[in-house]
Amino acid sequence: PTPQEWKQQDNSPRWRRPRGVLQRNAGIAWLRHNCPPYTAAVAYFADDDNSYAIELFDQMRWTQKVSVWPVGLVGGVMLERPVCLCLGDGHPSIVTDWMVGWKASRKFPTDMAGFAVSVALLITKTDAEFSHDSKIGYLETDFLSKLVETKDLEPRANCCTKVLVWHMNAKKPLLKEEMKLRELGRRTDVGIVV
């Protein structure tokens, strides 16, 4: 169970504390204890308030290190996504930037629903786990930084132009960061298929 000091207080916003840290780390520990180092599988930290296109799971199964893709209705924008250079003709695509509404300066400004990790990589990188000490909004960045560099990311979802996972809350999404970006002449959903 989560210790009381790490639980959300009744009157505090959900984003004030990292959530699911112990549970995710327990899952990672289970994989390390039960899977051989050469296991060809992926770990994905799914959430019960997300909606998934079945295609997402077919795409992530090819992950060699860390695969990434857009996530819809998150972070106050229509979608958060990696911006990719798509080389085509059998050449791998590369992540060159990120389109997000908050703290684009983070090394990996992605949502938990926006990546999958090779189980073999998790087994070999024994220091990679989630931390209660991560600053607000840095849980994913701190975790991924222990696994890969940006050059190692594997863009999926048609070079990150298709949305295959969405945050689905029972209330209308607040898109205040999207409105700020639009005032600057930028939109997160340009060239995206939903």
Number of domains in the chain: 1
Say if residues 142 and 42 touch (Cβ distance below 8 Å).
Answer: no
Give residue-wise pLDDT tens across range 62-105: 999 999 999 999 988 999 999 999 987 778 899 999 999 999 99
Encoded tokens for 133: 């000490």
Encoded tokens for 14: 């959900």
Say if residues 193 and 161 touch (Cβ distance below 8 Å).
Answer: yes
Query: Tell me, what CATH number does 18's domain have?
Result: 3.90.550.10
Q: What pLDDT is stored for residue 8 in this prediction? A: 67
Can you give the residue range of the structural domain that contains 67? 4-183
Q: What pLDDT is stored for residue 52 in this prediction? A: 97
* 192 lies in some domain: no
User: What is the pTM for the complete model shown?
Assistant: 0.85
* 157 lies in some domain: yes
Give residue-wise pLDDT tens across range 19-67: 789 999 999 999 999 999 999 999 999 988 899 999 999 999 999 999 9
Q: What pLDDT is stored for residue 170 in this prediction? A: 59
Q: Is 178 tagged catalytic?
A: no
Catalytic residue among 80, 129, 140, 154: 140
Query: Is 49 known to sit in a ligand binding site?
Result: yes
* 194 lies in some domain: no
Say if residues 74 and 80 touch (Cβ distance below 8 Å).
Answer: yes
Report CA torsion sign: 117, 123, 124, 126.
positive
